[in-house]
Amino acid sequence: MKAMVLRETAPIEKEPLKVEDLPNPVPGYEEILVKVSVCGVCHTELDEIEGRLQPILPMILGHQVIGRVAGMGPGAKRFKLGDRIGIAWIYSACGKCHFCREGNENLCLEFKGTGCHVDGGYAEYTVVREGYAYLIPERFSDSQAAPLLCAGAIGYRDLRLSGIKRGETLGLFGFGASAHIVIQVARHWGCDVFVFTRSEEHRELAKKLGASWAGGPGDQPPKKLNCAIDFTPVGETVVNALKVLEKGGRLILAVIRKRNSIPPLDYALHLWDEKEIKSVANITRRDAVDFLSLAAEIPILPEVMKFELAKANQALLLLKQGKIQGSGVLRVAD
């Protein structure tokens, strides 16, 4: 099979992903073989490639995978051949620790990420444990469905943990793959949405999707935010968001790593009045299942830019430069 393989970390500008011919993977016990149709590109892959997040090397990246069941290992019986399924960031968890028992498998010490600890979807075939795969609603094309598995599911978790209520004001800092899905859910829930982004193109997309205001990262919005979600890779945004957060508001940090440090906070100016900061780590299977159902109901319609698998480096470079409108998707097979 053809695969894009990362063998050593480097700036994406150096095109570290290389096309290789590899044997098709063989599904193990209760695993399924998936013929990949498309795979979304994500900032997490940039963090892996550039060394902010350490994958096991060599690694086939990719964790927003849509494909068809092409084979089944011993004991696999949940799906049938030809079923269209999705694979998300959560590849596995132990299922036994107190985190898993309480429904927080995203915090499991044995958590494994697809395309980080095990090979992912930047390839013609991949394998997954059948308990960590999801049937995809017929409403969505393959390319539309891919971003729902990470950008959508983690965005849904961000929204839930923010505590946003109907009629309240939500601020979105950065307007990439996840934010452009989150705004559709927030508007469906009756929230007023303000978007903060450097890109004029992203501001226009935000307004098209229902934002009542869009400005720059440090601009003053029409009113303070009840809740905010920071999707950006830079530390300065945390300070900007806290300045415009209402008393008792909560700021959600929706990234795995920041490229630079968060500037010093002034307690009285930024944190007093019962403001909160909460990070989001990974997703659970329940997040993916619940969000796919909600996305089909609304329905969520992701904006996608398509690239051939061999163009993965170029797609990720555009993502780093903020030049992808909505979500980037790699087309692996027709």
Q: How far apart are the first and last CA of the chain?
A: 15
| Nearest by Cα to 46 from 65, 64, 61, 66 | 61
72 strand-pairing partners: 32
Residue 334 has pLDDT above 80, yes or no: no
Instruction: Delimit the domains of the chain by residue range.
Output: 2-149+283-331, 152-279
Region 2-149+283-331: CATH code: 3.90.180.10
The answer to whether 2-149+283-331 and 152-279 have equal CATH topology is no
pLDDT at 314 over 80: yes
Model confidence at 332: pLDDT above 80 = yes
| pLDDT at 48 (0 to 100) | 96
User: Which of these, 183, 194, 182, 193, lies nearest to 156 by C-alpha position?
Assistant: 182
Which of the four pLDDT bands, split at 50, 70 and 90, describes residue 250? Answer: very high
Name every residue whose Cβ is closer than 8 Å to that of residue 234 and which is 6 or more positions away in sequence.
Answer: 258, 259, 260
Residue 325: pLDDT band by 50, 70, 90 thresholds? Answer: confident
* DSSP state, residue 114: B
Alpha carbons 119 and 98: distance in angstroms, whole number: 27
How many whole angstroms from its chain centre is CA 284? 12
pLDDT in tens, 172-194: 999 988 999 999 999 999 999 99
Topology at the third CATH level for domain 152-279:
Rossmann fold (3.40.50)
Are the C-beta atoms of residues 61 and 55 closer than 8 Å to each other? yes
pTM of the model: 0.90
Give residue 257's pLDDT: 81
pLDDT tens for each residue of 134-163: 999 999 999 999 999 999 999 999 999 999
pLDDT higher than 80, residue 111: yes
Mean pLDDT of the chain: 95
Where helices occur in the chain by DSSP H, the ranges are 43-49, 98-101, 142-145, 151-162, 177-188, 200-208, 236-243, 285-297, 312-320
